[in-house]
Each structure stands twice: as C-alpha cells, then as structure tokens.
A and B are shown apart, each in its own frame.
Chain A
Amino acid sequence: MIRRFAKNIFYFLFINVAIILAILFYINKRDNKNNYKQFETESVIYSIPESKTFDLIIMGSSHGRMFTRGKNHLNVEKILNKKIVNISKSAAGIVPEFEFLKYFYKNGNKASEIWYFIDPFIFYSSKWNEELYFLTDEPFRFDFFFQILFSNLTSEVKYNYIKSKFSTEWIDFNASILPETESKLTKIDSTAVQKRAISVYPSGLSEEVFDKYSSVFKQLIMFANAKELKITFIIPPTLLGFLPGMKELKLFLKNIKKDDSISYFDFSETIKNPAYYYNHDHLNNNGVDFFTKKYLSHIK
C-alpha cells in the first residue's frame, strides 16, 4: 500500500514538475527575446548584457537606481563621460546586489570601477537583504536561478522568483513601470521624514545584524579586488537627516579604507533644497543632474 502511495506521489510530482519546467522554458525563451534598455525597466537582469565592457557599474538600493530612471541614465553618462551599467535595485541590500554583480561577470562582462551608493539602513535588516522579493520583476533565467540557488538569499526569495513568473503581472510583462521622477518637493514635511526614517529600520538597530551584512561587503571588496575593479562607496544626499547607524557605517568605511583600496564619499548633507527631490529620500531629474555635475563628476 505504502509503495503504491509513494509511486503515485512520485508520478504526480513528476507531472507537476514537468508542467512547471515547460512553462519556465517557455517564459525563459519569450523573455530572452525582449530587449530593454536600462532606463526602460527596473529589472536588473535585462540591464546585464553579454561580453560587454563598461567604465562604471552603479550599485546600491533606489539611491543608485535613480541615476538610471527616465532620462537620467543617458544624461549621467554624458556628464561623466562614462559608459555605465546600473545594477542597483530598489530596496535591495548587499546580498541581492552581490548576486547581480556576480551574474554580470558570469556573462563575460567587464568594468573598470564600481560606485556603490550605500545607505546605513541596509546593514540593519534582513528585509533588505534576504526577505524581500527582489526577483519578482526579473526575467526568468535558468543560469541565474542556479546561481542564486546556492546564495544567501532565503528559500522564500528563490521560490518567489519562480512563483512570480506565474502571475498575471508577469504574463502581461512589458518591463516594470518606473516611478515618476520629474516632480519637485515644495517643502520638507517633518512627519513624513520621521515616518520614512522609521520605516527603513524594520528590525531596529542590531550590532549582530550589522556585522553579518558588513562581512558580505568585505566579500564584495575581495571580489572587486580579484576582478581589478576600483570600488568607491558613496553616501547619497537625502532630506532624512542624520540616520541611525550612520556613525557605524562611516566607521566601517573608514576601517576598510585603511585595509583595502577603496574610496568613500559622504554626500548625505550636501543637498538640502527640496526642489531637487521628488520625495524626501530621492533626487528628481534636476537633482540628479545637479548632483552629478557638482559632486560626482569630481570623483576620480
């Protein structure tokens, strides 16, 4: 009886796995035909070409992504006179970002340097590193899936990568919608600032969690050194004020600056005019233009 049961379960699972694989193969084939430019989509994998050489890789959370949204990407490339690939992603901490960087190299690409737009809050919560469903708006690629299968991303994130391809959103996929970045903030709303500052620390401030993710940063630096990539950490401007954990972040960057060939710049307090922001946390198109010309263009 038990053998019959096991046999039937095996057959049933086999059929289901076969159906799922067939659908994934179809999606993989369909998605590979899509060819989006970086500024047309939030999906990082679409931004990663094969065997290309770039001057600069931009990494980070939304603070890195904003340099590619809308017309910013081409504008920033022009100002800096650099060929840029942007692999940063909204709400992404170091763990998913490191996976994107590895995938970039796996595809035979090369670059000279990395600018990592770094925030203190990504060191303090698994939400930004292991729990959020970073991969739901990424196309399905078997090679990327096998890569992340053995990564630090949680099994939920990996499962959701597959599951998300069975959603209506993905079936109708036309590259994810980009947020509006033209608008201007008229004034600083202190309540909204406070709310935002709290929301980015969902797990509080744990030293243990900080140590966990700072060790991944050290791995990233080792990886960059092995690839002869110059790495620069940049604390971006915001209207959120002095965020919790900023002191620890700066200390961490100072310490690794001593040991490794990295540079870091703190621009957190540089732009206080709300007209350069579309919300309290992100520069609008004018802000990106101003910040790139006034500050980033001087980074050597």
Chain B
Amino acid sequence: MLFNSIGFALFLPIVFILYWFATRGNLKLQNILLLVSSYYFYSCWDYRFLFLLIFSTLLDYFTGIKINETEKYKKRTFWLWLSICVNLGFLGVFKYYNFFAESFAEGLLNFGIKADFVTIQVVLPVGISFYTFHGLSYVIDIYKNRIKPERNFINYSVFVSFFPLLVAGPIERATHLLPQIIKKRKFDYSKAVDGLRQILWGFLKKIVIADNCAEYANTIFNNSADYSGSTLVLGALFFAFQIYCDFSGYSDIAIGTAKLFGIDLLRNFAFPYFSRDIAEFWRRWHISLSSWFRDYLYIPLGGSRVGVWLKIRNTFIIFLLSGFWHGANWTFIIWGLLNAVYIMPSIIFNTNRNNLDMVAKGKLFPTLMEILSIALTFGLTVFAWIFFRANNVKHAIGYISKIFSNTLFTIPNFPGIEKSPPIIILTFLFLIVEWIGREQQFAISTLGLKWPRIVRWALYNIVILTIIYFAGTKQQFIYFQF
C-alpha cells in the first residue's frame, strides 16, 4: 500500500478513528490495533514476506531477553552474533546473493575459469533493510547496556513494524521509540495538526516535484546516448530533485502520520541541499541512516578519536557500507566511495564540524561565500547522483563523458521539454519556501500558524489544488527498493 494511493487514503482514517475512539485510550488495545494495522499494511505488498518480518521480530525479541538474562560475556556475545548473523543473513540472501554470485563468476572468468553460480529469482521483501536495522539497533543497545529488553511482545512488535516507518524508515532507535510505545498516549491537538501539515507538505514534494521530475529524469537517463551534454546536466538536476523530494516527502508523510497517533519519529532530512560542505550534507541527508552508521559502526571503530589514517579508513568503511546498503550494484558502491572522497579533506583537516548550524541562521539572505559553498556542495552531490541513478557503471561513465563533451554548451532538448517550465518554476518556488522555513522541522511547520483560520485553510486548499492540478505520473517511492 503506497502512501499516495486510494487504499492508504481509506486505511489511515479508519485506523485513526479506531485508535482514538474505539480503544477508549486503552494503551494495550491501541498497540494491538497498531500492530494488526501494520501487518495488514505490510501484507498489502506481499503477505508471504510478513512471515519473514514476524520471524525477524521474534528473533530479536528473544535474543534481546537472552542477552539481558546473563552476565557472562561469552553468552551475551553469542546471542548478539546470532541475531546479527541471522538478520544480515536474510538481508544477504534476499538483497546481495545474486550480486555476489554474479560478481564472483565474472571475477573467475578474468582468470579463465568459467563458473555458473545459481542465481535466485526472488522479489526483495519491501522494507527489509529498514526493519533489519531497527532490530539490530535494539539488540546492540541491549548488549551495550543502553536499554533493557522489552518483555511485552506486542510492544516490541509495534516498535519494529509501526506502519508509517515500516517500509522506508526513518530507521528508529529503541531508546527513542520504545518509551513512546510503552507510555500512555493522549491526543495532542497541536501535534495532530502539525502532523497533517507535514503530510500535506510531503505529498506536495512527492506528487508534484518528485513524480514530475522523475518523468524527465527517466526520459533523459534511459536514452542518455541520444542527448547533448547540457540535456544530461538537466537530467541529473531533475534526478537530484526527484530523489530529495521523493525520499524526504516519504519521510514527511511517515513522520506526520505517526504524529496523528501521538508518536514522534526521528527526523530524517534537514534541508540537505542548503549544506555548505559534504560533512554538513551527510548530517542533513537520511539522518536516521547516517546516525545509525555513526553510532553502531563508526564510533565502535574508533570514530574520530583515532589517528588520521584510521579516521580515513573508518570513513571509507562507513561510506562503502552506506552505498552497499542501498543496493547490490557497483553504482551504489561507487556513489558511496565518491562521497567518502568528497568528505576526505574535511576529515584530514578536521573541518568536518565547521558548519553545524543552519546556513545564514536568523537571516533572510546568505553571504556570497555561503552561496558559493552551497553551489559547490550541491554540484558535487548532483555529480555523485549520476552513479546512483545510472543502470550500471558503464552507463554512468558514458553519461558523464557525454556531459563533458562539446555539446555541454548547447540548448537542452528532450521529448516533453515544452511541458517542463511549470515544473521548473514550481521547483524554484518550492526551494524558496524550503529556504524560508529552513530553521523549522519541515518547511511549512510554522507557516501561517498565526493567520486567521480562513486564510490558513485557503493556503491548505491552494496546496491541495496544486497537488491535484500538477500531479505527475504516479511513481513508486525510490527507497522502497532498498
């Protein structure tokens, strides 16, 4: 069930009404309802994978209790590794087996050895990368004595499979979400309104900006050999806005939906395209994943408290894994490594924490230096997105070579370009709103809150009509494939 589907438009109000009215505030009933609805939501994709989700939940639930029950280091470590190996084993089989089998066969072929590995024809269970990381963070936190295990299976299952975050995050932490699930929840009017506003903004990003940009990006990327360098630059820009609005739009809808049930999820995006350097970009892009890698991998590896060479090694490991997390394709790995290269100067010269605050905080306009820094960071990011979007490495290299050809300075042209100006204008307007609201949780978080109701509602209606009027062809959320 997609967020931007009729099914979800019916599902959400029904669950909301049952949650707040039928359960009469009974926490146990509310959690049972959330679990049943989450499993229903998940089974709309493929009910067979529901068993995998339940198995993964049971595994982490029991290993969490087992780790806590014993003081012995060996036993604790055994249960921890059991959970890690089984969880990553499933992820490996479903997501990476074919990649390794094919890459290994290709590698052997270079030595003249022909090997035929059996590849498996299996659909990737939606959300597996997300709920696996949920479960892992829970078990690791128990192992590190940061939290106590949750003994109530329903509560724990809701933590793993709460439907707004189940298929594409944000990747939650037990320390943040579990206490909210255990605690009695009261309806909070302001939070619910804030949630609805965030959902509305998320839909605008996804349906208007991302889905429209996707059509142009797909046309250009799928026929890149036929277009000029300037068109390919435009294609990369379209993809940059597609992926940002698609994923951050999804996160906004997920976070907004959770707020309707009185639950706060982790923030996932903080206006990344206004970053002044790559380190800042990675503190603002897919925050829940970046911070997961930071807390469960980078810091245990020594983090930044080690020497320069180890810091470099750790950074490369994190970005390599981050790329690999996105999918079993060399394009993702190169994308990760490219970002590691980008961030390297700030790691070596220890400037990676220079830009912690939002750019031009408290001011309307940035300085010239800030504009140049933002433009450079954005340019580097867009360049890396080419690898992320390309079908394979050869495609990416061909795409980039074509950009740097003498056709770079021609007027862009592709089928449908005549229809693109309204979308380009809307994207600019969208960026202006994002810039104005960049110090908030999401761009329209406080916009118009003090206006008279009639004006505020008129604004909501304008946004709704914009969504209906400018809706692009419906596209799957990009991060569902991960």
List the interface of chain A (C-beta within 8 A of B). 1-2, 4-5, 12, 15-16, 19, 155-156, 158-159, 163, 166-168
Flag B1-45 by CB within 8 Å of A: 1 or 0 each.
Answer: 000011100000000000011000000000000000000000000
List the interface of chain B (C-beta within 8 A of A). 5-7, 20-21, 187-189, 192-193, 457, 460-461, 464-465, 468-469, 471, 474
Q: With the chains together, A70 CA to B460 CA distance in Å?
A: 45
Report whether over half of chain A's contact residues are helix, strand or loop; otherwise say mixed: helix
Whether A166 contacts B6 by the Cβ 8 Å rule is no
Closest to B453 in A: A8
Q: With the chains together, A276 CA to B417 CA distance in Å?
A: 33
Whether B6 contacts A155 by the Cβ 8 Å rule is yes
Q: With the chains together, A288 CA to B187 CA distance in Å?
A: 67
Say how far B402's CB is from chain A's closest CB, in angstroms: 24
Q: Tell whether A5 pairs with B468 under 8 Å between CB atoms, given A12-B457, A155-B7, A156-B474.
A: no
List 8 extra interface pairs beyond A19-B461, A163-B468, CB under 8 A.
A1-B189, A4-B189, A5-B193, A16-B461, A19-B465, A155-B5, A156-B474, A166-B465
CB neighbours (8 Å) of A159 from chain B are 6
Closest to B187 in A: A2
Interface centre among A5, A19, A168 (most CB of B within 10 A): A5
Whether A166 contacts B5 by the Cβ 8 Å rule is no
6 contacts between A and B (CB under 8 A): A2-B189, A4-B189, A5-B192, A12-B460, A15-B461, A155-B7
Say how far A53's CB is from chain B's closest CB, in angstroms: 39
Whether A167 contacts B469 by the Cβ 8 Å rule is yes
Whether A15 contacts B469 by the Cβ 8 Å rule is no
CB neighbours (8 Å) of B471 from chain A are 163
Q: With the chains together, A42 CA to B7 CA distance in Å?
A: 30
A-B contact count (CB 8 A): 35
Say how far A107's CB is from chain B's closest CB, in angstroms: 28
Q: With the chains together, A166 CA to B207 CA distance in Å?
A: 15
Q: With the chains together, A19 CA to B464 CA distance in Å?
A: 11
Q: With the chains together, A168 CA to B421 CA distance in Å?
A: 14
Q: With the chains together, A159 CA to B192 CA distance in Å?
A: 27
CB neighbours (8 Å) of B21 from chain A are 2
Say how far A115's CB is from chain B's closest CB, in angstroms: 33
Q: Tell whether A156 pairs with B6 under 8 Å between CB atoms, given A1-B187, A5-B193, A167-B469.
A: yes
Say how far B313's CB is from chain A's closest CB, in angstroms: 47
Closest to B471 in A: A163
CB neighbours (8 Å) of B6 from chain A are 155-156, 158-159
CB neighbours (8 Å) of A168 from chain B are 469
Q: With the chains together, A156 CA to B7 CA distance in Å?
A: 9
Interface centre among B21, B468, B471 (most CB of A within 10 A): B468
Whether A156 contacts B189 by the Cβ 8 Å rule is no
Closest to B13 in A: A9
Q: With the chains together, A182 CA to B457 CA distance in Å?
A: 53
Say how far A80's CB is from chain B's closest CB, in angstroms: 38
Q: With the chains together, A2 CA to B189 CA distance in Å?
A: 7
CB neighbours (8 Å) of B465 from chain A are 19, 166
Q: Tell whether A16 pairs with B469 under 8 Å between CB atoms, given A5-B187, A155-B7, A156-B5.
A: no
CB neighbours (8 Å) of B5 from chain A are 155-156
Q: With the chains together, A163 CA to B20 CA distance in Å?
A: 31
Q: With the chains together, A158 CA to B192 CA distance in Å?
A: 30
CB neighbours (8 Å) of B192 from chain A are 5
CB neighbours (8 Å) of A163 from chain B are 468, 471
Say how far A126's CB is from chain B's closest CB, in angstroms: 15
Q: With the chains together, A228 CA to B471 CA distance in Å?
A: 44
What 10 A-B pairs come out closest when comparing CB atoms? A155-B6, A2-B187, A1-B189, A166-B468, A166-B469, A2-B20, A1-B187, A159-B6, A5-B192, A5-B189
CB neighbours (8 Å) of A1 from chain B are 187-189
Say how far B10's CB is from chain A's closest CB, in angstroms: 9
CB neighbours (8 Å) of A156 from chain B are 5-6, 474
Closest to A1 in B: B189
Say how far B272's CB is from chain A's closest CB, in angstroms: 31
Whether B464 contacts A16 by the Cβ 8 Å rule is yes
Closest to B474 in A: A156
Q: With the chains together, A2 CA to B464 CA distance in Å?
A: 23
Closest to B190 in A: A1
Q: With the chains together, A159 CA to B474 CA distance in Å?
A: 12
